[in-house]
Amino acid sequence: MAEVLVYVDHVDGAVRKPTLELLTLARRLGEPVAVALGAGAGGTAGVLAEHGAVRVLTAEASEFADYLVVPKVDALQAAFEAVSPVAVLLPSSAEAKEVAARLAVRVGSGIITDAVDVEAGDEGVVATQSVFAASYTTKSRVSRGVPVITVKPNSAPVEPAAAAGAVEALAVVFSELATGTKVVSRTPRESTGRPELTEAAIVVSGGRGVNGAENFAVIEALADSLGAAVGASRAAVDAGWYPHTNQVGQTGKSVSPQLYIASGISGAIQHRAGMQTSKTIVAINKDAEAPIFDLVDYGVVGDLFNVVPQLTGEITARKG
Ligand SMILES: Cc1cc2nc3c(=O)[nH]c(=O)nc-3n(C[C@H](O)[C@H](O)[C@H](O)COP(=O)(O)OP(=O)(O)OC[C@H]3O[C@@H](n4cnc5c(N)ncnc54)[C@H](O)[C@@H]3O)c2cc1C
């Protein structure tokens, strides 16, 4: 059966959810062969096998951490040449997109980024993208080579499907380019203790209506009462009230949680592009005419500084 390469995103062996989503999609195209690189790669095999990986190719060389992406491209290319896959799937993270682009150039393939679905078509793998701020859904396939496709988080369910997950050491010879850019220091971002935005089941976002960095405490308190991640509109981020990494939207992150609560956000099309596939959407806005209300399952017309603390208090009380 045809094999599909899946590039594994993991932290010290802990596989991140978008990779498990890729395995769901890969199984539609053929037998998933996972490629796990860096420290802890061997530790990924168990969970990858539980989600359908027939083979797990691992390489743990220190080069993966010591240099920027080129060693990873070298390794993925080695896997590509060893496996001859029908498609290569990677998560749509900034780093994996760079790896994907470099691999596609090297192997002479077309690349499709930010897909939200993939399926086997008569003439090859077809990817679905949501484009122009989610105004259009397009289907495309590469016209040259083996498709290299990056897929947005939350595009497919995580489905357990036991497979062999046979671990094989991947032989990699690093190119001269691989050691061109050395990582000289790393500063871990301070952990908020909240879930990762793109993976969270609940996201609580604030916009220009929050009116100041210090007021984001109101949004954070609601998020913490629900065990949610915190998001922000571009207006709030550009004003310096919240970090860019928390921006939701066309030029920020795409989220698709079970519950999305927008406070003081008008619902511009560029914001909607990043959250409109959320399962249940709640908005709190003092303007009854705000466009966000066209999209919501539940809307509250009111001042967020009045509504949100009451909501937080009620949730906290019910958790008892
Ligand atoms: C190329 C491009 C890319 C973009 N990408 C993004 C993106 O990725 N993400 C994104 O978010 N935007 C993006 N934008 C910007 C987008 O067009 C909007 O400007 C932005 O989303 C507006 O943010 P906002 O809703 O917080 O602010 P506003 O549109 O100013 O809305 C603020 C809302 O808060 C309400 N409000 C005010 N005070 C209160 C209160 N006390 N209680 C309750 N409600 C209150 C107001 O009624 C209003 O509806 C992009 C724009 C462009 C051109």
- For residue 277, is pLDDT > 90? no
| Mean pLDDT rounded to a whole number for the chain | 95
- For residue 54, is pLDDT > 90? yes
The answer for residues whose C-beta is within 8 angstroms of residue 134's C-beta and 6 or more apart is: 269, 272, 273, 276
> Is 206 close to ligand 1, i.e. is its CB under 6 Å away?
no
Q: How many CB atoms lie within 10 A of CB 137?
A: 11
Which residue spans within the chain are E strands per DSSP? 3-7, 10-11, 14-15, 31-37, 55-59, 87-91, 111-121, 124-131, 136-140, 148-151, 166-169, 202-206, 229-232, 259-263, 280-285, 298-301
Task: Name the residue of 204, 205, 233 to mutate for ligand 1: max ligand atoms within 8 A of Cβ.
Answer: 233
CA angle 131, 150, 161 (to 5 degrees): 120
Judge whether 152 and 254 are in contact, CB under 8 Å. yes
> Is 264 close to ligand 1, i.e. is its CB under 6 Å away?
yes
Task: Name the residue of 203, 230, 250 to mutate for ligand 1: max ligand atoms within 8 A of Cβ.
Answer: 250
- For residue 257, is pLDDT > 80? yes
Judge whether 232 and 247 are in contact, CB under 8 Å. yes
- For residue 135, is pLDDT > 80? no
Query: Helices (DSSP H) in 8-134: which residue ranges?
Result: 17-29, 45-50, 63-66, 70-83, 94-107
Q: What percent of the chain has pLDDT over 90?
A: 87
138 by DSSP, 3-state: which?
A: strand
pTM of the model: 0.85
For the segment 241-254, the average pLDDT, to the nearest whole number, is 94
**Cα 249 to ligand 1 centre (Å):** 10
